[in-house]
Amino acid sequence: EVKLLESGGGLVLPGGSLRLSCAASGFTFSSYAMGWVRQAPGKGLEWVSGMSGINDITNYADSVKGRFTISRDNSKNTLYLQMNSLRAEDTALYFCAKDHRWVGGTATFDYWGQGTLVTVSS
């Protein structure tokens, strides 16, 4: 059974940093691309970033490019999202998701975690 468990969310001051983690199990982690999707309170889904299973290819939404960094440790079956220079508009529930297959970027998320909440506020 595929399981994705996010952690690391919390309350942070504007301009601050936070690192999210996503522990994966139930599949060969290194064989699949992974991504992060966020959902602001009461709003829709927004793709944040994606990363290939190998070759370390990464993609970012324009809204987070230069501030967020996606990474993974295939030996620990864990995906990360380092978030710097956080803004109020980054407040959201952050989902970790497994990609169905790599097409040069993340295209289809077939499994999702339950999310971790990030609140940016003074």
Partner 1 sequence: QSALTQPASVSGSPGQSITISCTGTSSDVGGYNYVSWYQQHPGKAPKLMIYDVSKRPSGVSNRFSGSKSGNTASLTISGLQAEDEADYYCSSYTTSSTLVFGGGTKLTVL
The answer to whether residue 27 forms part of the interface with partner 1 (CB under 8 A) is no
Matching residue, tokens 């970790």: 96
**What single string gives the DSSP state of each residue in 2-30?**
-EEEEE--EEE-TT--EEEEEEEESS-GG
3-class SS of residue 88:
helix
Considering only 5, 7, 27, 59, the residue that binds partner 1 (CB under 8 A) is 59
The answer to whether residue 45 forms part of the interface with partner 1 (CB under 8 A) is yes
Considering only 27, 46, 117, 119, the residue that binds partner 1 (CB under 8 A) is 46
How far separated are the first and last CA of the chain, in Å rounded?
Answer: 40
d(CA 35, CA 80): 9
The minimum distance between CB 34 and partner 1, in angstroms, equals: 12
The answer to whether residue 36 forms part of the interface with partner 1 (CB under 8 A) is no
| Residues at the site binding partner 1, with contacts judged by CB under 8 A | 35, 37, 44-47, 50, 59-62, 95, 100, 103-115
